[in-house]
Chains A and B, each alone.
Chain A
């Protein structure tokens, strides 16, 4: 079966750095997406990785290792507005998105 695993909840301090991990087992691989979702709102796109390595986009970076079935999202200089759920999703060989349940990130002052 297809499976995406990520921690249920993480806590971090304003101004710090946090890394949210995602491991996956899917039928084929056509890329991995990270989305941010604030409570009661729709997911918004953060990043896409299809090749191994690190993609940096401002305070957010995403890493992929296809051989390990592993990705992480790195958030630097945390702000209170970063409190949200972060969803990892993999596009399988049929171009369908397989979603993780999301990691709820709590930022404390």
Chain B
């Protein structure tokens, strides 16, 4: 089945220790998104790629970086995690056109100790 896969499902990191979350897709979608979601809040878009074009949201901290080496893979790098960065991180893919829903991975729950 075509899908979006995120690894790991749960990640624990120490305050200030860099961490990388990964996402892969078999849907061949042009667009890949990274969202941060905290409890009982809407998903917050951090950035997205349309093919190789990177689009950063204005309020995404510099602490968050992303890489998309090819169509299938996308990575979220948190350079110096703080306690406030503990959240669920959701990767999603889409075609970037109307009537096209986003397809989400299962998410990575990040804990910062």
Contacts and interface: CB of A to CB of B under 8 A. Distances in A.
Interface stretch (B11-19, B69-77, B105-113): B105-113
Contact of A44 (B42, B104, B109): B104
Q: Main secondary structure on chain A at its contact with chain B?
A: loop
Interface in A27-57: 30-31, 33, 40-45, 48, 50
Q: Main secondary structure on chain B at its contact with chain A?
A: loop
Contacts of B43: 43, 87, 99
A95 B98 contact: yes
Nearest to A47: B101
Nearest to A101: B42
Nearest to A91: B98
Contacts of B99: 31, 48, 50
Contacts of A11: none
Nearest to B44: A99
Contacts of A30: 98
Contact of B98 (A31, A45, A87, A100): A31
Contacts of A42: 90, 104-107
A40 B106 CA distance: 9
Given A31-B98, A91-B98, A104 B40 contact: yes
Contacts of B41: 101-102
A74 interface: no
Contacts of A40: 88, 109
Contact of B42 (A41, A48, A102): A102
B103 interface: yes
Chain A to chain B: the 3 pairs with minimum beta-carbon distance, closest first = A99-B42, A42-B104, A45-B101
Given A101-B40, A101-B41, 4 more contacts: A42-B104, A43-B102, A95-B98, A102-B42
